[in-house]
Structure 1
Protein backbone atom coordinates (compact mmCIF):
# COMPACT_ATOMS: atom_id res chain seq x y z
CA UNK A 1 0.00 0.00 0.00
CA UNK A 2 1.27 3.45 -0.92
CA UNK A 3 2.20 5.79 1.91
CA UNK A 4 -0.29 8.25 0.40
CA UNK A 5 -3.13 5.93 1.35
CA UNK A 6 -1.83 5.75 4.93
CA UNK A 7 -1.89 9.56 5.05
CA UNK A 8 -5.41 9.63 3.61
CA UNK A 9 -6.50 6.94 6.05
CA UNK A 10 -5.07 8.88 8.99
CA UNK A 11 -6.77 12.11 7.85
CA UNK A 12 -10.21 10.48 7.65
CA UNK A 13 -9.89 8.51 10.87
CA UNK A 14 -8.84 11.62 12.81
CA UNK A 15 -11.54 13.77 11.16
CA UNK A 16 -14.14 11.13 11.98
CA UNK A 17 -13.03 10.90 15.60
CA UNK A 18 -13.35 14.67 15.94
CA UNK A 19 -17.03 14.37 15.02
CA UNK A 20 -17.44 12.65 18.40
CA UNK A 21 -15.02 14.84 20.36
CA UNK A 22 -16.39 18.18 19.10
CA UNK A 23 -19.85 17.51 17.60
CA UNK A 24 -21.08 21.06 18.28
CA UNK A 25 -18.37 22.50 16.04
CA UNK A 26 -19.55 20.32 13.18
CA UNK A 27 -23.23 21.07 13.85
CA UNK A 28 -22.50 24.80 13.74
CA UNK A 29 -21.16 24.62 10.19
CA UNK A 30 -24.11 22.68 8.78
CA UNK A 31 -26.65 24.54 6.65
CA UNK A 32 -29.96 25.13 8.41
CA UNK A 33 -31.94 23.41 5.65
CA UNK A 34 -30.37 20.09 6.67
CA UNK A 35 -32.39 18.60 9.56
CA UNK A 36 -31.11 16.50 12.46
CA UNK A 37 -27.64 18.03 12.64
CA UNK A 38 -26.39 15.86 15.51
CA UNK A 39 -27.49 12.66 13.76
CA UNK A 40 -25.67 13.61 10.56
CA UNK A 41 -22.54 14.71 12.41
CA UNK A 42 -22.28 11.39 14.23
CA UNK A 43 -23.18 9.34 11.16
CA UNK A 44 -20.62 11.13 8.99
CA UNK A 45 -18.06 10.60 11.75
CA UNK A 46 -18.75 6.88 11.73
CA UNK A 47 -18.44 6.73 7.94
CA UNK A 48 -15.22 8.76 7.95
CA UNK A 49 -13.63 6.41 10.48
CA UNK A 50 -14.86 3.33 8.62
CA UNK A 51 -13.63 4.68 5.29
CA UNK A 52 -10.25 5.52 6.80
CA UNK A 53 -9.88 2.06 8.31
CA UNK A 54 -11.17 0.47 5.11
CA UNK A 55 -8.33 2.04 3.13
CA UNK A 56 -5.84 -0.08 5.04
CA UNK A 57 -7.26 -3.39 3.83
CA UNK A 58 -7.00 -4.35 0.19
CA UNK A 59 -10.38 -6.11 0.23
CA UNK A 60 -12.22 -2.91 1.29
CA UNK A 61 -9.98 -0.27 -0.30
CA UNK A 62 -12.01 0.42 -3.47
CA UNK A 63 -15.26 0.62 -1.51
CA UNK A 64 -13.63 3.01 0.97
CA UNK A 65 -12.19 5.18 -1.81
CA UNK A 66 -15.62 5.47 -3.44
CA UNK A 67 -17.21 6.20 -0.06
CA UNK A 68 -14.71 9.00 0.52
CA UNK A 69 -15.46 10.53 -2.88
CA UNK A 70 -19.20 10.39 -2.14
CA UNK A 71 -18.68 11.99 1.27
CA UNK A 72 -16.52 14.76 -0.17
CA UNK A 73 -19.23 15.55 -2.73
CA UNK A 74 -21.93 15.45 -0.04
CA UNK A 75 -19.88 17.76 2.22
CA UNK A 76 -19.58 20.38 -0.53
CA UNK A 77 -22.74 22.29 0.60
CA UNK A 78 -21.27 22.58 4.09
CA UNK A 79 -18.17 24.30 2.70
CA UNK A 80 -20.29 26.64 0.59
CA UNK A 81 -22.42 27.41 3.65
CA UNK A 82 -19.29 28.22 5.64
CA UNK A 83 -18.20 30.60 2.89
CA UNK A 84 -21.48 32.52 2.64
CA UNK A 85 -22.57 32.44 6.29
CA UNK A 86 -20.35 34.42 8.65
CA UNK A 87 -21.41 32.50 11.78
CA UNK A 88 -20.84 29.12 10.10
CA UNK A 89 -17.48 30.35 8.82
CA UNK A 90 -16.07 30.11 12.35
CA UNK A 91 -14.46 33.55 11.95
CA UNK A 92 -11.98 32.13 9.48
CA UNK A 93 -10.69 34.52 6.80
CA UNK A 94 -12.51 34.29 3.45
CA UNK A 95 -9.35 33.10 1.70
CA UNK A 96 -9.12 30.13 4.09
CA UNK A 97 -12.75 29.21 3.42
CA UNK A 98 -12.20 29.47 -0.34
CA UNK A 99 -9.08 27.33 0.00
CA UNK A 100 -11.08 24.73 1.98
CA UNK A 101 -13.69 24.66 -0.76
CA UNK A 102 -11.04 24.17 -3.45
CA UNK A 103 -9.38 21.54 -1.30
CA UNK A 104 -12.50 19.39 -1.71
CA UNK A 105 -11.78 19.14 -5.45
CA UNK A 106 -8.12 18.36 -4.81
CA UNK A 107 -9.06 15.64 -2.32
CA UNK A 108 -11.56 14.11 -4.75
CA UNK A 109 -8.89 14.07 -7.46
CA UNK A 110 -6.34 12.56 -5.05
CA UNK A 111 -8.71 9.81 -3.95
CA UNK A 112 -9.85 9.08 -7.51
CA UNK A 113 -6.24 8.31 -8.48
CA UNK A 114 -6.46 5.10 -6.44
CA UNK A 115 -9.83 3.84 -7.68
Structure 2
Protein backbone atom coordinates (compact mmCIF):
# COMPACT_ATOMS: atom_id res chain seq x y z
CA UNK A 1 0.00 0.00 0.00
CA UNK A 2 1.41 3.40 -0.90
CA UNK A 3 0.22 6.95 -0.79
CA UNK A 4 1.62 9.98 -2.53
CA UNK A 5 0.89 13.67 -2.40
CA UNK A 6 1.04 16.37 -5.03
CA UNK A 7 4.25 17.49 -3.33
CA UNK A 8 7.45 15.48 -3.19
CA UNK A 9 6.28 13.10 -0.44
CA UNK A 10 5.89 9.36 -0.92
CA UNK A 11 4.78 6.96 1.82
CA UNK A 12 5.38 3.19 1.66
CA UNK A 13 3.48 1.07 4.16
CA UNK A 14 4.42 -2.54 4.86
CA UNK A 15 1.46 -3.55 7.00
CA UNK A 16 2.01 -7.31 6.97
CA UNK A 17 4.35 -6.98 9.93
CA UNK A 18 3.72 -6.26 13.56
CA UNK A 19 4.64 -3.52 14.02
CA UNK A 20 3.80 -2.10 10.60
CA UNK A 21 6.74 -0.45 8.85
CA UNK A 22 6.16 2.97 7.28
CA UNK A 23 8.87 4.49 5.10
CA UNK A 24 8.55 8.15 4.20
CA UNK A 25 10.42 9.67 1.27
CA UNK A 26 10.70 13.37 0.40
CA UNK A 27 9.98 16.57 2.27
CA UNK A 28 7.55 16.58 5.19
CA UNK A 29 6.13 20.08 5.14
CA UNK A 30 2.89 22.07 4.96
CA UNK A 31 2.13 20.73 1.48
CA UNK A 32 2.77 17.07 2.28
CA UNK A 33 1.74 16.72 5.96
CA UNK A 34 -1.93 16.05 5.04
CA UNK A 35 -0.81 13.13 2.86
CA UNK A 36 1.18 11.64 5.73
CA UNK A 37 -1.81 12.04 8.05
CA UNK A 38 -4.06 10.31 5.53
CA UNK A 39 -1.59 7.45 5.04
CA UNK A 40 -1.21 6.91 8.80
CA UNK A 41 -4.92 7.24 9.69
CA UNK A 42 -5.82 3.57 9.03
CA UNK A 43 -2.96 2.51 11.33
CA UNK A 44 -4.10 4.29 14.52
CA UNK A 45 -4.85 1.02 16.31
CA UNK A 46 -1.56 -0.58 15.21
CA UNK A 47 2.03 -0.42 16.36
CA UNK A 48 3.93 1.51 13.69
CA UNK A 49 7.67 1.91 13.12
CA UNK A 50 8.41 5.00 11.10
CA UNK A 51 11.52 5.23 8.92
CA UNK A 52 12.34 8.85 8.06
CA UNK A 53 15.78 8.12 6.59
CA UNK A 54 14.75 9.48 3.20
CA UNK A 55 13.15 12.66 4.56
CA UNK A 56 15.48 15.55 3.81
CA UNK A 57 13.35 18.31 5.34
CA UNK A 58 10.70 18.55 8.06
CA UNK A 59 8.90 21.67 9.25
CA UNK A 60 6.37 22.40 11.98
CA UNK A 61 3.54 20.94 9.89
CA UNK A 62 5.43 17.65 9.68
CA UNK A 63 6.14 17.70 13.40
CA UNK A 64 2.47 18.43 14.05
CA UNK A 65 1.40 15.49 11.86
CA UNK A 66 3.70 13.14 13.80
CA UNK A 67 2.67 14.34 17.25
CA UNK A 68 -1.04 14.37 16.35
CA UNK A 69 -0.76 10.78 15.14
CA UNK A 70 1.05 9.88 18.35
CA UNK A 71 -1.81 11.36 20.42
CA UNK A 72 -4.52 9.66 18.36
CA UNK A 73 -2.65 6.34 18.52
CA UNK A 74 -2.65 6.52 22.29
CA UNK A 75 -6.44 6.85 22.29
CA UNK A 76 -6.94 4.05 19.75
CA UNK A 77 -4.52 1.58 21.33
CA UNK A 78 -1.71 1.97 18.83
CA UNK A 79 1.80 3.35 19.01
CA UNK A 80 4.16 5.13 16.64
CA UNK A 81 7.92 5.07 16.98
CA UNK A 82 10.55 6.71 14.78
CA UNK A 83 13.15 4.00 14.26
CA UNK A 84 15.40 5.79 11.76
CA UNK A 85 15.72 9.33 10.45
CA UNK A 86 18.02 11.51 8.41
CA UNK A 87 20.42 13.86 10.20
CA UNK A 88 18.33 16.98 9.44
CA UNK A 89 15.19 15.28 10.77
CA UNK A 90 17.03 13.99 13.85
CA UNK A 91 18.15 17.53 14.57
CA UNK A 92 14.63 18.99 14.30
CA UNK A 93 13.13 16.17 16.39
CA UNK A 94 15.78 16.82 19.04
CA UNK A 95 15.45 20.63 19.04
CA UNK A 96 11.66 20.41 19.38
CA UNK A 97 11.81 17.67 22.01
CA UNK A 98 9.69 15.37 19.88
CA UNK A 99 12.45 12.76 19.90
CA UNK A 100 11.68 12.15 23.58
CA UNK A 101 8.18 10.91 22.75
CA UNK A 102 8.66 9.36 19.31
CA UNK A 103 12.04 7.66 19.49
CA UNK A 104 13.48 5.08 21.81
CA UNK A 105 17.21 4.82 22.40
CA UNK A 106 18.82 1.59 21.33
CA UNK A 107 20.52 -0.58 23.90
CA UNK A 108 24.27 -0.18 23.15
CA UNK A 109 24.87 -3.79 24.21
CA UNK A 110 22.19 -5.09 21.86
CA UNK A 111 21.55 -2.58 19.03
CA UNK A 112 19.25 -5.01 17.22
CA UNK A 113 17.02 -5.75 20.21
CA UNK A 114 13.42 -5.31 19.21
CA UNK A 115 14.27 -4.99 15.53
CA UNK A 116 12.93 -7.40 12.98
CA UNK A 117 14.35 -8.20 9.61
CA UNK A 118 12.93 -5.49 7.35
CA UNK A 119 11.92 -6.17 3.78
CA UNK A 120 14.40 -4.81 1.21
CA UNK A 121 14.11 -1.15 0.23
CA UNK A 122 12.61 -0.46 -3.15
CA UNK A 123 13.86 2.48 -5.23
TM-score class, shorter-chain normalisation, is under 0.3
Larger Rg: 1
Query: What's the TM-score, normalizing by structure 2?
Result: 0.25
Query: What's the TM-score, normalizing by structure 1?
Result: 0.26
More strand by share: 2
